Amino acid sequence: MAKLYFYYSAMNAGKSTVLLQSAHNYKERGMRPLLLTAAIDDRFTQGQITSRIGISAQASLFTNDTDIMQTVLLESQSNELSCILIDEAQFLTKEQVYALSDVVDVLNIPVLAFGIRTDFQGELFAGSQALLALSDKLIELKTVCHCGSKATMVIRLDSDGKPVKEGDQVQIGGNDRYLSVCRKHFKEAVRN
């Protein structure tokens, strides 16, 4: 029986690396995974999932307007899909997450979604909120704060390296723009 999995963490926990390893494992067994990533994330090459450790794979893009079920049905026409692997799942809409649960429940295709749980203000992303509610299995991938504690939060930094407390929820960036920290250091950053 297929399941909907949500692998979540702060930044720099290796979400894309785990996704790419999963894709490799499926392919090595002669199975066909469908890889999806958010079109909004343009840090690397669009249409590609890239890990900070230097591995990558081609992926189909999704936007807020993508009909996930239609995408899966079209992809599975030519060759049966073994699983769906989604990078940057926090950018999914609530409706898209519901469609992914239909992929699992109706089509019996496992879905593994990888994303960040909260934004730089400690608020849930819409996709993450829906995944936390609907997933059959939640898996936390861990990374560490500069103090050595588990990092569960993300701080957005300005061009001078100072914490940003206001702004749009989505601003694409990497290590130059975001820092993963523990809750204690997150609260210190937003209070100062």
Among candidate residues 158, 165, 169, 161, the one with its CA nearest the CA of residue 186: 165
Q: Pick the catalytic residue: 88, 95, 123, 188? A: 88
Residue 87 DSSP code: S
| 165 and 190 Cβ atoms separated by less than 8 Å | yes
Helix axes 94-107, 126-134, angle to 10 degrees: 30
- Strand 4-9 versus strand 111-116 pairing type: parallel
Among candidate residues 127, 101, 179, 147, the one with its CA nearest the CA of residue 8: 127
Per-residue b/e over 102-136, b at no fewer than 16 CB within 10 Å?
ebbeebebbbbbbbbbbbbbeebbbbbbbbeebbe
Among candidate residues 180, 24, 36, the one with its CA nearest the CA of residue 97: 36
Reduced to 3 states (helix: H, G, I; strand: E, B; else coil), residue 163 is strand
28 labelled catalytic: no
Both tokens of 163, joined, read 């914490």
Task: Tell me which residues are annotated as active site.
Answer: 88
